[in-house]
Every structure is written in C-alpha cells, then in structure tokens.
Amino acid sequence: MGDQVTTMDRLTAEDQLMLWPDEIWPQDIGALAVLDGGALLDPDGQVRIAAVRQAVEARLHLVPRFRQLLCVPGRWLGPPLWVDAPVFDVADHVGVVPLPAPGDEATLLRTVERLRRRRLDRSRPLWEMRLLAGMPDNRVGLFIRMHHAMADGIAGVAAASALLDAGAATPLAVPPPWTPVPAPTRRDLLADNLRRHISTLGRAFSVLARPVAAARRLSAAWPAMRELMAEEHGPGTSLNRMVGPDRRFALVRTSVDVVKQVAHGYGATVNDVLLAATAGGLRALLRSRGEPVDDLAVRVYVPVTLRRGQLGRARGNLISQMVVPLPLGGSDPGRRLTQIAVETAARKARSRPSLGSLFRSRIIRRAFLRAANRHPVNVTTADLPGPMAPVNLVGARVLEVFPVLPLIANVSLGVGALSYSGQLTITVVADGDGYPDLDVFVAGLRDELRALGAVAPVSSRPSAARSVARRG
C-alpha cells in the first residue's frame, strides 16, 4: 500500500496563508520546461501521452499530495485539511496541448499564459502537467503547476523532480497499489479541532509562564517584522499598481558558473547577482518612462527558506520573507552589486519567524495590509535550486527549466531564477496592463548581467565576460 494519511492532515499555518488571497489572485506556482522530444514523439509526430501518463502514475507514491483534495470543513470543524481523492484518474492531470504555428518561444509563452488563466479545479487534486506539442526541432514544452498551498518554491521543485528520471531512461517500475483513505467524519473533525484548541491554550499558558523568554523571542524577531511592515519607502513609481488578470512573460538565459564567478568576485551570492540584475532592469524601465531614479531605491520581496537538511524531500510551505531595497541610482553595476550584497548580508542575519506564525492573527494580517498600502513592495524575486544533473521524462531529456511565480496585490513584477544542470534560467512575469514595455526591463536586466561580467574583479573577469555576452 502506498503512502496514506494515517492522521488528520491539516494545512499548516504557512499553507493556509497561500489560500488567503486566492479568490482574487490565483496562487499557483509552476515551471515551464523544454524537452528534447525525440523519445516523446511517435513516427507521426504525436506525443506518446499514454507512456507519459504511465510514467507519471508510477511515481505518484513519491508525491502523495498529488492524489489528495483540499477540504474546507464547516464551522467548528477546524482549518482546511488534505484528504485522499475517492477516485483518481491521471488523465485529468496529464495531457497534451498543441501549440499554434509557428510554435516559437513567443507562441509557447502565450500558451502558458492561456493555461495559467484557467483556475485549477478544487474538486480534483490541485496540480496539472501539460505537454506543449508543435515546437520546432522535435522539441516539446512542458508546463507543470500546482497550488501554492501544496508547496513553496523549494518543495515545488522537489515534487516536480520526483516525477522525472535522473540520468538515462530507466524501465518503468510497477507502481505500488494505492487505496484512498476515507475522509474523516464530522465527529472526527470536531474532536480533532477540540484537541487543537486545547493544545493551543496549553502553548499560550506556557508562554505566559516564561515571559522573559517570550520577550526575548519577540525582541529578536522585531527587526524582521519591522522590515516587512514599518520601514520607510521612497517616492511612488509607476510600478505601484494593483495586479490584474493578465500576465506577460519573458525568458533570460545564462550559466551558473558565470553568475557564481561574478558573485565570488564581489563577495556576493548568486541571489545578490539576481537582485542586482533586477535593479538594472528596473533602472532601465523607469528611465524609459521618464521617472527619476538617481535617489531611488525600490523595495523587493526576497523569500527566505526556513528549511534545514534534505531539500529534495521538502513538502508544504516553510518560508519567511525579506524586504531588500535595491538602489537604482548610479551607472556602476559593480558598486550596485556590492551595496546589495552588504544589505542582504545584514538582513539575513536577522531572526525571522515563518510567515504562517507571523500572520496567524487576523489583527496582524490587517496591520500588514495597512502597512503594505503605506509602504508598497512592487517586485518579488526567487532563486531556486534545481537538479544539478540532467533529468528526463520517458527518455526525453529536459533541456531547460524556467520557474513561474505568482503575483499578488500590488506586487506587479516577479523575477524567478532556477539553476539546472549548469544553467541559470530566469523568468520575468509581469502584470499585463502595467508592463506593455516589459522588453525594456528585460533588456536592462540582460545589460546589467553583461556589465557585471565585464567589470568583475580580475580573478573572474575573462570567462565571465565572454559567457554572459554569449548567452545573454
């Protein structure tokens, strides 16, 4: 028998937080991959979808959440929980979508946007995989997405990777038998919720019994909380707009070695280089719109994982949030990267509570919303580790993978990076109405990467400059 729920599988506070804005701004995370489709296509050029479904189903026991439903109980029955789907058909989740001609990158991205706009069906497990057929050179696109309540970025990469093979194609294993566990009864839910309340009261009394320790924890977490809700902000920009339903996408490619060389030369991290490139893109965008940038710093969300240990087995959400000011003034990209590296190092040293524990209280959520209106953050970033070695699907090698970030409220621009098999791929996702000139931002981001390679300290300059110029 495969993995089954043996206890009440309630969503954590972090997972529930991802349901909060979902009615207005769908909170799906995903990835777009490009595969060498030779092994995926039959002699007529059609995707061998039956083989793909068989391969995915053989691995679903590694991702038990993919056969579970989100259940939201009624009053007094406690928070949402995951329950096994009474019936599961892999064909509901894995399918083929033909690309319109000419099947180029622009067509691929428009198709991803069309798929993204369709909400995941809550009567089924909240994920899907679509093979995008019709690309040139026998290539096939792959778009996989899941609800953010299932996983954060790191757990999402782990879940998607579990469905793929490492190295050469391997014979399909016989999937372990799966029998759904019956959903808990109302009586079970009521009893479990009562136990939860008693446990919560016990923890509250424990905190009251140790006021000094509680005060120390609050004092240690206060700088990070202030960073999210109370820091000063610069003048308003055209970036500050409420997110609508449409998205624009753009893709940027470079290599992990290039970015690591640049980062090493400045005593920075790969994530710092991503932030510096984002700053370069924002500088170019706002200057093209006639907005002053010389004394401007744009605040950016940077997720911070609270996980320790084996990331490949990560599940659910376990993150905090850092807010980093990106300086847009000045034309020296090296100086900008150095400033960002110093700032992020100081902020990473702060103690950070998880987002779920921070926003469990409705009072704090309301305070955060008021603070977000006063001190808007309009950009989010993410730097995710992917598989270090090539992976494949039914013998079709995954050539490149791009993360797809969700947007929310007035966070109208997202820049996500993912390292995979020596590549660093960047996806820019923007509000459709707010960024008709997204190409200007992308060009600025690429220019900043090239410039950082060209002005990097001598120890990393030669190979970095050549490679960034070649792959940008």
Q: Lowest-pLDDT range, 93-102, 116-125, 365-374? A: 365-374
* CATH code at position 360: 3.30.559.30
The region that residue 394 occupies, defined by phi over 0 for left and psi between -120 and 50 for alpha, beta otherwise, is left
Using CA atoms, how far apart are residues 438 and 281, in angstroms rounded to an integer? 9
Check residue 45 and give left, alpha or beta (phi > 0: left; psi -120 to 50: alpha): left
Residue 107 placed within a domain:
no
Beta strands (DSSP E) in 9-164 are: 28-36, 68-71, 81-84, 94-98, 127-133, 139-147
The whole-number pLDDT of residue 470 equals 34
Is residue 298 situated within a structural domain? Answer: yes
For residues 112 and 28, the answer to whether their CB atoms sit within 8 Å is no
Give the pLDDT score at 223.
59
As a whole number of angstroms, the distance between CA 13 and CA 353 comes to 12
The reply to whether 183 falls in a domain is no
Answer yes or no: is 427 within a domain: yes
Count of domains in the chain? 1
Instruction: Report the pLDDT averaged over residues 176-185.
Output: 93
The verdict on residue 283 lying in a domain is yes
- CB–CB of 133/96 below 8 Å? yes
* Tens digits of residue pLDDT in 6-32: 478 999 988 998 998 888 999 999 999
Q: What is the pLDDT of residue 350?
A: 84
**Amino acid, single-letter form, for residue 393:** L
CA dist., res. 389 & res. 257, Å (int)? 14
* Nearest CA among 33, 28, 2 for reference residue 161: 33
pLDDT of residue 310: 64
The mean per-residue pLDDT over the stretch 450-467 comes to 60
The Cα–Cα gap between 379 and 239 comes to 8
If you average pLDDT over residues 251-276, what whole number do you get?
Answer: 96
Task: Determine the pLDDT at residue 214.
Answer: 53
pLDDT of residue 297: 94
Taking only the tens place, the pLDDT of each residue in 123-147 is 999 999 999 999 999 999 999 999 9
pLDDT at 467: 37
Q: Write the pLDDT tens digit of every residue in 411-457.
A: 999 999 999 999 999 999 999 999 999 999 999 999 999 999 887 66
Residue 68 pLDDT > 70, yes or no? yes
273 domain-assigned: yes
Other residues' Cβ atoms within 10 Å of the Cβ of residue 185: 9
Judge whether 182 lies within some domain.
no
Q: Tell me: pLDDT of 33 over 80.
A: yes
Mean pLDDT of 227-248: 81
Of the pLDDT bands very low, low, confident and very high (cuts 50, 70, 90), residue 376 is confident
Asked if 415 and 250 touch (Cβ cutoff 8 Å), the reply is no
What's the mean pLDDT in 460-469?
Answer: 37
Residue 5 has pLDDT above 50, yes or no: no
Residue 97: predicted pLDDT = 98
pLDDT for the residue 197:
83
- d(CA 140, CA 396) in angstroms, rounded, equals 9
pLDDT at 464 (0 to 100): 37
Single out the residue of 35, 20, 31 nearest to residue 116, CA to CA: 31
Do β-strands 297-305 and 379-385 pair in parallel, antiparallel, or remain unpaired?
Answer: parallel
Q: Is residue 279 part of a domain?
A: yes
pLDDT in tens, 287-308: 999 999 999 999 999 998 888 7
Average pLDDT over residues 269-275: 98
pLDDT of residue 1: 39
Dump pLDDT digits (tens) for 309-360: 766 677 888 888 899 999 999 999 999 999 999 999 999 988 777 766 655 5
Residues 6 or more apart whose Cβ sits within 8 Å of residue 225: 353, 358
pLDDT at 4 (0 to 100): 42
Percent of the chain with pLDDT over 70: 81
Domain that holds residue 440: 232-386+405-471
Q: For residues 319 and 110, what is the distance between their CA atoms, to the nearest angstrom?
A: 30
Q: Assess whether pLDDT exceeds 60 at residue 461.
A: no
Q: What does the pLDDT read at residue 316?
A: 87
**Which tokens hold the place of 28?**
């799906």
